[in-house]
């Protein structure tokens, strides 16, 4: 191929549609032809001349190739014996080349490796050394590219000349075809370029089957940006179908802030439809605290509308004081008896007009006189406790009945237990 024909082929190819410089995929192969102009070290006596070569390469990583080229140059040399002889020079290079994308259509080429040169025809010699390459690749299409590069080959010695440590230079320009490497996905969106209707998708964007960016949810509220009327909603806020924040319930009482007239209600409080706490009934007697004149009434105690113990109802004028017990044979109140009497105190204070008789009763075991005296002492012990708790003494009368008024049979232990009792009787 003449040098003029070669340049015409290159010029025609450069008019083809060009592509932006993109990474060369791992697994891509390269085959190419090039013309080489060699500038030999003067010590060799070779005349500078041009030749042609063939290259082959394989990209073992993205943009990084292992390649080899072999060229042939026919020239002549004036040797040490004074004779001018024809020489065929065959440099062989094996090198690693980095193809760095640079600009829109080019790659910067940087390479280094091994060189072996054979000298033939009327001479028989060879040499080994290290070579370097600097150049660029111009992409004229997805598969076609042109390369322009300079080389420098360093030899410590050859048997072509007696001189050690010489350098040969060269300029190479040619074209290459790229093949293999799998379908290209230039924007790395997972859709190959031949199917990608939206090339250049920003890295990391989720795309559809055509390679076009899917609608985003930038504020993470579950409503896509193309439907979100309130972009930038703070993370964690609940939103409606349009992406706008729903009314909050800051105090968690079930009433949203826009309707809550009592914000900051403590957690767990029962509230009305305006978010304000409902009146409590702390003692559970059915009367709310704001109306309860006797707070702390024991659970299960019958109370009136004011929340105070109801000592007497309409049908009974006598109340047996349950739990008001004494030590055996004594008139000392037990701790349980004092607790029970505290409820009586609350009831009497709630009804200051009532006067009561405290009646003491026993079973029929033992002498009647002894039981009567014991029941009187017990009735007085109750009276004294009530008076000490703030009930006016003139509202209290103590009377011991001994075994005279049983309410059950004294023939059984259960009956006798019922007869041993303390009663309150309304006397006005």
Q: Does 272 fall in a domain? A: no
Q: Does 354 fall in a domain? A: yes
CATH number for position 109: 2.40.160.20
Q: Does 233 fall in a domain? A: no
SS3 content of the chain, % helix, strand, coil (to 5): 15, 35, 50
Ordered DSSP codes for 298-325: PTT--B-TTS-B----TT-SEEE-TT--
Pick from 149, 180, 211: which residue ends a domain? 180
Pick from 133, 155, 180: which residue ends a domain? 180
* 209 neighbors 50 (Cβ within 8 angstroms): no
The domain in which residue 323 lies consists of 318-426
Pick from 131, 148, 180: which residue ends a domain? 180
What pLDDT, in 10s, does the model give residues 226-272?
Answer: 888 888 788 877 878 888 877 787 787 878 877 888 887 888 787 78
pLDDT computed for residue 253 by the predictor: 81
Q: What's this model's pTM, rounded to 2 decimal places?
A: 0.44
The whole-angstrom distance between residue 277's C-alpha and the CA centroid of its chain comes to 37
Q: Give whole-number Cα distances, 358 to 243, 261, 291, 364, 382, in Å.
A: 74, 53, 30, 20, 7
Residue 84's contacts (CB-CB under 8 Å, 6 or more residues apart) are: 76, 77, 78
pLDDT computed for residue 91 by the predictor: 96
Q: Helix (H, G, I), strand (E, B), or coil: what is residue 368?
A: helix
Phi, psi of 146 (to 5 degrees): -120, 140
What pLDDT, in 10s, does the model give residues 151-190?
Answer: 999 998 888 887 888 999 999 999 999 988 766 777 888 7
Give the separation between CA 272 and CA 94, rounded to whole angstroms: 88
- Of the candidates 92, 169, 75, which has an alpha carbon nearest to the alpha carbon of residue 127? 92
What pLDDT, in 10s, does the model give residues 80-109?
Answer: 667 888 999 999 999 999 999 987 789 999
Long-range Cβ contacts of 340-344 (<8 Å, 24+ apart) = 341/382, 341/385, 341/386, 341/389, 342/389, 343/297, 343/298, 343/301, 343/309, 344/309, 344/311, 344/386, 344/424
The residue to which tokens 């029941």 are assigned = 375
- Of the candidates 119, 114, 112, 70, which has an alpha carbon nearest to the alpha carbon of residue 92? 70
pLDDT along the chain (428 residues), means of 10: 42 42 83 96 88 96 95 87 86 96 89 95 92 94 92 90 88 94 76 82 84 80 82 81 78 80 81 80 78 75 75 75 76 83 84 89 89 91 91 92 91 87 86
pLDDT computed for residue 16 by the predictor: 40
CATH number for position 331: 3.30.1330.60
Beta bridge partners, 70, equal 54, 92
The residue to which tokens 């290159």 are assigned = 10
User: 90: phi > 0 → left, psi -120 to 50 → alpha, else beta; which?
Assistant: beta
Q: Does 333 fall in a domain? A: yes
Domain count, the chain: 2
């Amino acid at each position: 191929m003449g040098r003029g024909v070669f340049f015409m082929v290159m010029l025609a190819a450069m008019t083809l549609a060009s592509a932006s410089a993109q990474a060369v995929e791992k697994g891509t192969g390269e085959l190419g032809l090039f013309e080489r102009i060699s500038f030999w070290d003067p010590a060799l006596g070779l005349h500078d001349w041009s030749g042609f070569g063939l290259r082959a390469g394989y990209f073992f990583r993205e943009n990084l190739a292992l390649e080899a080229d072999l060229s042939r140059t026919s020239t002549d040399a004036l040797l040490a014996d004074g004779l001018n002889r024809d020489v065929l020079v065959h440099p062989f290079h094996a090198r690693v080349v980095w193809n760095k994308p640079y600009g829109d259509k080019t790659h910067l080429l940087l390479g280094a490796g091994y060189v072996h040169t054979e000298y033939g025809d009327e001479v028989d010699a060879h040499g080994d050394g290290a070579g370097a390459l600097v150049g660029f690749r111009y992409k004229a299409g997805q598969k076609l590219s042109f390369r322009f590069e300079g080389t420098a080959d360093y030899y410590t010695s050859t048997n072509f000349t007696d001189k050690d440590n010489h350098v040969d230079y060269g300029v190479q320009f040619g074209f290459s075809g790229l093949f293999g490497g799998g379908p290209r996905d230039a924007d790395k969106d997972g859709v190959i370029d031949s199917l990608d209707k939206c090339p250049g998708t920003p890295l990391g964007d989720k795309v559809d089957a055509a390679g076009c960016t899917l609608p985003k949810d930038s504020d993470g509220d579950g409503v896509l940006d193309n439907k979100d009327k309130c972009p930038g909603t703070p993370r964690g806020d609940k939103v409606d179908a349009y992406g706008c924040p729903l009314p909050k319930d800051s105090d968690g009482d079930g009433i949203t802030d826009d309707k809550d007239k009592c914000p900051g209600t403590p957690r767990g409080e029962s509230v009305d439809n305006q978010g304000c706490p409902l009146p409590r009934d702390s003692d559970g007697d059915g009367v709310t605290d704001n109306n309860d004149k006797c707070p702390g009434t024991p659970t299960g105690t019958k109370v009136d509308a004011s929340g105070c113990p109801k000592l007497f109802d309409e049908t009974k004028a006598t109340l047996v004081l349950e739990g008001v017990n004494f030590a055996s044979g004594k008139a000392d109140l037990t701790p349980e008896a004092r607790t029970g009497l505290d409820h009586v105190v609350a009831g009497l204070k709630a009804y200051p007009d009532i006067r009561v008789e405290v009646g003491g009763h026993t079973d029929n075991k033992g002498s009647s006189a002894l039981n009567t005296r014991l029941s009187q002492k017990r009735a007085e012990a109750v009276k004294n406790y009530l008076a000490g708790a703030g009930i006016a003494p003139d509202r209290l009368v103590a009377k011991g009945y001994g075994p005279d008024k049983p309410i059950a049979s004294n023939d059984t232990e259960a009956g006798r237990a019922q007869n041993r009792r303390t009663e309150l009787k309304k006397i006005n």
